[in-house]
Amino acid sequence: MKKILPLLFFATVVLSVSNHAQAAVFTIGDDDGYGIGIANNATHPFNGFSANYDGRSAAEMAATNGAQFTDTYSTTHPGFGPQAGTVATFNFSGLGSGWTAGHLEFDMADFQASTFGAVAVDFNGIVQNWAFNDGFPNTALRTFNLEQAVLDSINSTGALIVNINRNLSNDFYGFDYARLSDINVGTVVPVPAALWLFGSAIAGLSSFARRKQAASA
């Protein structure tokens, strides 16, 4: 029995890691490469003159959770983009409580803070630094591990509201999608690997049991 306990502990840990890899994921937008198949961390074809680019689907146009701000260029630059306002709000709702980690991912385009001024961004009212300089016409896939204050606010409200305000900026920028999950970058073992480890643990237990039975016989 003493020899079985370490294997049981190992199997329990592996199963826990495997379950953790099945993260809850919430996506705003449709992750289609800005509506025209642009790969992550690539360049987009906007030429700086036709800045009213709009590649949204009908569902995105009708959205109210922030998807209406995706697949567009000059998203919050009145007079140039398809949206009239200067603030883009991404609203992740129905998140519940019990969040101990959080990973937010944005596929964004053409942020040039040093040239046009940084946009003002907050997560549930908690100010973030988005002074990015990707340069025209580059896209960038950015990830954020949510700080404890943001996690506490999610647990309190059951939501994460990302406000992106360009009132103090003249930047032209766009988004493809935003994605939130209840994990942190670098903490998840891929499910196939975790299952392989779990299977190895079970195989070890079975082998040990057979050897013990043979010895008893």
pLDDT digits (tens, 9 = 90+) for 13-72: 444 443 444 689 999 999 999 998 899 999 988 877 767 789 999 999 999 999 999 998
Q: Is the CB of residue 52 less than 8 Å from the CB of residue 75?
A: no
Is the model's pLDDT at 2 over the cut of 70? no
Which residue in 137, 138, 125 sits closest to 165, CA to CA?
125
Q: Does domain 24-187 have CATH number 2.60.120?
A: yes
> Concatenated DSSP letters for 178-200?
EEEESS-TT----HHHHHHHHHH
- Mapped onto helix, strand or coil, the DSSP state of residue 21 is helix
CB atoms closer than 10 angstroms to residue 142: 14
Is the model's pLDDT at 205 over the cut of 80? no
- Confidence at residue 200, expressed as pLDDT on a 0 to 100 scale: 56
Is the model's pLDDT at 167 over the cut of 70? yes
Across the range 136-145, mean pLDDT stands at 95
pTM for the full model?
0.77
- Confidence at residue 124, expressed as pLDDT on a 0 to 100 scale: 98
Is the model's pLDDT at 213 over the cut of 90? no
- Confidence at residue 166, expressed as pLDDT on a 0 to 100 scale: 95
Band of residue 9 on the pLDDT scale cut at 50, 70, 90: very low
Across the range 114-142, mean pLDDT stands at 96
Which residue in 188, 177, 166 sits closest to 66, CA to CA?
177
Which residue in 118, 141, 142 sits closest to 129, CA to CA?
118
- Confidence at residue 53, expressed as pLDDT on a 0 to 100 scale: 85
Output Rg (C-alpha) for the chain, integer angstroms.
23
